[in-house]
Structure 1
Amino acid sequence: MNIKSQAAGEIAIPFDHEKLDRLMDAAGLDILVATSKHNVQYLLGGYKFIFFAAMDAIGHSRYLPVLVYEKGRPENAAYIANRMEGAEHANRPFWTPTFQPATWNSVDAGNLAAEHIRKLAKPGARIGIEPPFLPSDTHAILEQLGNSTKLVDATATFERLRAVKTPEELSKLRAASELITDSMLATIEWANEGVTKTEIIERLRREETKRGLHFEYCLLTLGSSHNRAASPQAWKKGEVLSIDSGGNFHGYIGDLCRMGVLGEPDAELEDLLSEVNAVQQAAFAKIRAGALGGDLIAAGEQRLKQSHVAPYTDFFAHGMGVITHEAPFLMTNHPVTYEGVDAGNPLEAGMVLSVETTMLHPSRGFIKLEDTLAVTETGCEMFGERGRGWNRGGR
């Protein structure tokens, strides 16, 4: 089935298609084929099909949403979807002029995408794909497009498109961060002596869910341990707690870490968290539109070198938004494997960063702050900034 959404002149495109056209031109791309759920979500203005929100597998194959976009010709865009998405379209029509809810597997999706691309592609056209998110059977179909077309890795083009957030996106990232902070502080206040890591993580999941977040994960430590996995380990008086969580708010990730203590923090704990915060603040001071991405990395690393906690402490920063590590890419293979290609590029207002300083103290445990900041023209705005000191448990 091929459904026409609306006349070309009436298209309301939910992203900066002129920016996308410029990026495609710079990369030498004629047509883009999005197959990752996060990029399809972005190109559809935040839509994600609920039936496959948690898992892609069905029957012998998988759900594969495909959005095809031709440079400079949004009127030729197509969304190839699962059959059940026809009901979604009936309630809230997709912007793509062509909508095909006809697939149950990746082969059908590939064949329909190829059929649409053949109508558009000129001889020698360069077709941008997402290799990490393109099943081998679908890739094989697109390789047979003919007409001297060439498949090209367009991962970087999608990343650049998402790098600068709109005011609406910033609002969602702010909400995600604030709600995660609220959830973590409520969980720390609830947790008391004897409660286990597994129970604390479950409590956080419930706190995030009741606030409208989709719970993604919780990495938790208690006491002197550096192990952040769920376990029967129980919280004891005087011990520290590190709670690091990601939650999804309407397609955008919040990712923060806060500290708790069961009792009152002693002088050593106050000093250790103060050192972590000093590294964070040194990096924050370098964040503004126009500053090089590497400047904040250098500032954080330099402040850490001066600290007595340097031998067992690490600092890094990364971009975030629809996924947890996205442009700007500021460090190479630290810790996630990618090139820090944006270290020498200026930051732009609307970019969003996660800044992290992590201490693996040999006797006091895992002490960390992770903060989310939006780049502004004059500096930065922190999202979810509360609770950056020692939060008391068992209240």
Structure 2
Amino acid sequence: MAPFDTGRLDALMEEAGIDVLLATSKHNTQYLLGGYRFIFFSTMDAIGHSRYLPVVIYEKGHAENSAYVANRMEGGEHQNHPFWTPAFHAAAWGTLDAAEYAVEHLRKIGKGAARIGIEPSFLPLDAYRLFSERLEGATFVDATGVLERLRAVKKPEELEKLRKASELVTNAMMATIGWARAGTTKTEIIERLRQEETNRGLQFEYCLLTLGPSHNRAASDQAWREGDVLSIDSGGNYRGYIGDLCRMGVLGHLDAELEDLLGEVEQIQQAAFSKVRAGARGGDVIARAQSVLKASKVAEFTDFFAHGMGLITHEVPFLMTNHPVTYEGVDAARPLEAGMVVSVETTMLHPSRGFIKLEDTLAVTNDGYEMFGERGRGWNRGATA
């Protein structure tokens, strides 16, 4: 039995004019396989002269014709925990042999000349050329939007993974801030965070860190000094799902100006939160936060942003256009749905105090929202000497 809503996928494929789907991205093959991702290629794709190319094949209305084209080493995975797809091909080492097996399966189920949905941004050129040459009469359709919409509303088990990811990232950041002291460098702080996240069962993905008045978030030998603020923004992966949050630290005395500045950020965050609920337009969340930001005394150097998240850090709902990531805010006029997950972030680039930011994760509910990983939203203290 397929681990996703086949009726929803069938409807989305019908609307997009797709007969059969070829999913080739790690995140979408993971979703279609019920959360599975092959550990050998979890953090890289390259092998020899080629790369790993998983392919999940799904025919509209006929889940019984589904197949998974895998790497040869995944045969052992199938023996331990069989994949749900009726057909399984663990015979590929690179892109071309994976594409060959996909072509063979499409022909077997009579879809060699069908309208085939692909992921253009996640389909290597050599594999696409092979599909084009071998599947005479086929029409290729961009299925990116179909798969994004399929993943938009999270199942309870997905929400639990996102909650866990957010809590573990927050706990790791709190421990890291409490460990760092005067003289600790950015590079050392980032490495400590990596250890804290890994020890909690997360796969560390990134840390964007600032110290003092600098707005530079890259690793360096810059050291934390007494009175400096620290901004720590990190993504940690828990079983495929992303925890992405930002928290603030200060070393030494916490003055009234810093309390006030973070308070301005918090007001903007709360304005956005107040509009989050199932049925509300996504654009209303943005408009409310921006109206409060516009009236703020820190508006000149402060920005607001919100985006959907789940298996990847920017997914449905897409709420803003080219701000800062280059995609269209196609969901601004659409209602939020219970089970969607939104990241809400307000960033201040203060000219003298530095980078001051909060980023929070909200799961949309019927009557509002539930926040994941809500610890440490105020000023957190670094270690004393």
TM-score bracket, shorter-length normalisation: over 0.9
Aligned length: 384
5 Å matches for 1:370-389?
370-389=359-378
Task: Look up the match of 1:222.
Answer: 211
Secondary structure in structure 1 of the residue aligned to 2:133: coil
Q: Deviations 1:249-288 (Å, cap 9, x if unpaired)?
A: 0000000000000013111000100000100000000000
After superposition, the CA RMSD in angstroms is 1.0
* Structure 1 consecutive aligned stretches of length 4 or more whose deviation exceeds 6 Å: none
Asked whether 1:43 is paired with 2:57, we answer: no
Matching residue's letter, 1:250: R
5 Å matches for 1:151-300?
151-300=140-289
Task: Look up the match of 1:364.
Answer: 353
Question: Normalization by structure 1: what TM-score?
Answer: 0.96
Matching residue's letter, 2:372: F
5 Å matches for 1:292-331?
292-331=281-320
Shift of 1:317: 0.2
Q: Deviations 1:142-192 (Å, cap 9, x if unpaired)?
A: 113445220000000000000000000000000000000000000000010
Matching residue's letter, 1:263: G
Shift of 1:121: 4.0
Q: Deviations 1:181-240 (Å, cap 9, x if unpaired)?
A: 000000000010000000000000000000000000000000000000000000000100
* Alpha-carbon contact 1:122-1:147 (below 8 Å) kept: no
Task: Look up the match of 1:92.
Answer: 81
* Alpha-carbon contact 1:81-1:100 (below 8 Å) kept: yes
Q: 1:181 to 1:123 in 2, by over 3 A?
A: closer
Of residues 20-29 and 339-348 in structure 1, the stretch that sits farther from structure 2 once superposed is 20-29
Shift of 1:124: 5.4
Partners in 2 of 1:309 and 1:145 — Cα distance? 59
Question: Normalization by structure 2: what TM-score?
Answer: 0.98
* Alpha-carbon contact 2:232-2:246 (below 8 Å) kept: yes
Asked whether 1:22 is paired with 2:15, we answer: no
Partners in 2 of 1:43 and 1:143 — Cα distance? 24
Task: Look up the match of 1:56.
Answer: 45
* Alpha-carbon contact 1:217-1:246 (below 8 Å) kept: yes
Of residues 143-152 and 249-258 in structure 1, the stretch that sits farther from structure 2 once superposed is 143-152
Identity %: 72
Shift of 1:119: 2.3
Partners in 2 of 1:192 and 1:148 — Cα distance? 65
Q: In the alignment, which of 108, 112, 115 is matched to residue 119 of structure 1?
A: 108
> What are structure 2's unaligned runs of at least 5 residues?
none
* Alpha-carbon contact 1:118-1:145 (below 8 Å) kept: no
Secondary structure in structure 1 of the residue aligned to 2:151: helix
Asked whether 1:104 is paired with 2:93, we answer: yes
